[in-house]
Structure 1
Amino acid sequence: MATIHLTLAPLFLLLAAIFLSTVVTAQPAAPAPGPAGPVNITAVLEKGGQFVTFIRLLNTTQIGNQINIQVNSSTEGMTVFAPTDNAFQNLKPGTLNKLSPDDQVKLILYHVSPKFYTLDDLLSVSNPVGTQATGRDGGAVYGLNFTGQGNQVNVSTGVIETRVSNALRDERPLAVYVVDMVLLPEEMFGKHKISLVAPAPKSKSPAVSDDSSEDSSKKAGVPSEKSGSGEMKAGFGFGLGLVLLCLKFIV
């Protein structure tokens, strides 16, 4: 009996190995990761959690859709500088409401560059950097200027200067950086900007004094009302005196 058990042991081991290999190979393989979906600027900003106003402006101006289309079809990529909700709250009251719809579009386009930039790229880029607003206003520059060193990058518009903070996304084809101030272009908010609409002149009716009218009448050679009445009185007195003189002779 011991001999039979010893000869069956290798057989049991062989059958166990075959069974285990069958179970392992029968398990379904893990699916391979599919291709990444299209980049969506709104989804990136919503994940950040502090860009409600910027998202609303991207939607109302339709620039958000333009970014999604261009960034997923362009080889250059894009870079977006996203102002926080606090940045918009720090604007002077009524700043956005005073802008025309076209100026609102240009303001949002000013926060988008038609090229992908890393933070290191921004430190070495040639200023000014063009934006999506460049050339829309009669060929105006609408550019951004970048300075800094190390890990700190500053952006200047000619009106304001602020720091380019952490990146919400920095992978091609889209880079999204946080800015703590709304980027106000000098072409729209600079001191040299002159309104094309001149204020309507205020109509005033200057009061004309009697003295001025009398002086003007004298200058024009027209007898004034006062001088005319005086002459009438003098003539009436002369005639009355002549009548009285005749009555004396008759009596």
Structure 2
Amino acid sequence: MSKQVVFSLSLLLAFIFHCNTSLAQAPDILEILEKPGRFTVLIRLLKNTGVANQLNGELQKSNTGYTFFAPPDKAFSDLRSGAINSLSDLQKVELLQFHILATFVSLPNFQTLSNPVPTQAGDTSAGEFPLNVTSAGKDVGLATGVVNATIGSTLYTDDELAVYQVDKVLLPLDIFRNYKPPEPVSESPPVAAKVHESSALSLTGHGMWFSIGIAASVAAFSL
């Protein structure tokens, strides 16, 4: 075998190894979200809609990277009952795509973005899916026209993907224009305490009348 052939084979093997290594090291959005254990609703939506496979596939070939905003289970539980289940399959996909930016953005670079920030959900120029970002140091706010959310922590970051936890589900204006948040639950005095007080009063009254009855009987007998 000539030296030229050996050299060519070496280059080919090196190329194949590099490609396999790159594929193995590519981030997986589901694995990232499964580790903390508080994104079960989001994971289920990503799987059922196919958005997880779509995002993972795009990460394999993207030159600009992606940014993903991840609401935890509590953020979904704070929504009005049926808010997500009532959506069509297309709307669920758009909701998840609204949480994705088709570029890698580190925390300091949020202040360089121009509003409205384009997401994977649709064209912001038509006013359908506006997302406005405010940044002051490490504090980043996200306004959708329906809710105002903040970035709480960084779940994952490298040169390809940034995943940030947000405190609310980012509800796009085009889908949730008529959405009304659930009414806050008002606190009322414990029912058990009221029952106890009433019972105590009733027992006291019966005891008083019982004592008066004994006293009257004793007086009549004496007479």
Using the size of structure 1 for normalisation, the TM-score is 0.59
Q: Contact 2:76–2:168 (CA<8 Å) still a contact in 1?
A: yes
1:37 positional shift:
1.7
Q: Which residue is 2:151 aligned to?
A: 164
Which deviations, in whole Å up to 9, do the C-alpha atoms of 1:149-198 show, x marking residues without a partner?
A: 12111111011001111111121100000011100011111249xxxxxx
SS at 1:163 equivalent? strand
Q: C-alpha distance in 1, partners of 2:60/2:152? A: 25
For the pair shown, which has the larger CA radius of gyration, 1 or 2? Answer: 1
**Aligned residue runs from structure 1 range 47-66, under 5 A:** 47-66=35-54
SS at 1:43 equivalent? helix
Q: Which has the higher contact order (CA 8 A, sep 6+)?
A: 2
**Aligned residue runs from structure 1 range 63-212, under 5 A:** 63-135=51-123, 141-191=128-178
Q: Which residue is 2:197 aligned to?
A: none
1:94 positional shift:
0.6
Q: Which residue is 1:214 aligned to?
A: none
CA pair 149-140 structure 1, distance change in 2 beyond 3 A: closer
Counting matched residue pairs gives: 158
Q: C-alpha distance in 1, partners of 2:98/2:83? A: 16
Q: Which consecutive residues of structure 1, in runs of 5 or more, have no partner in the other structure?
A: 1-33, 193-251
The amino acid across from 2:67 in the alignment is T
Q: Percent identity over the alignment? A: 39
Q: Which residue is 1:199 aligned to?
A: none
RMSD, matched Cα: 2.0
Which deviations, in whole Å up to 9, do the C-alpha atoms of 1:3-55 show, x marking residues without a partner?
A: xxxxxxxxxxxxxxxxxxxxxxxxxxxxxxx6662210001111122100000
Q: Contact 2:140–2:151 (CA<8 Å) still a contact in 1?
A: yes
Q: Contact 1:111–1:183 (CA<8 Å) still a contact in 2?
A: yes
The amino acid across from 1:87 in the alignment is A
Q: C-alpha distance in 1, partners of 2:101/2:128? A: 13
Q: Which consecutive residues of structure 2, in runs of 5 or more, have no partner in the other structure?
A: 1-20, 180-223
The amino acid across from 1:74 in the alignment is S
1:143 positional shift:
3.0
The amino acid across from 1:131 in the alignment is T
Q: Contact 1:130–1:141 (CA<8 Å) still a contact in 2?
A: no
SS at 2:61 equivalent? coil
SS at 1:72 equivalent? helix
Using the size of structure 2 for normalisation, the TM-score is 0.67
The amino acid across from 1:164 in the alignment is I
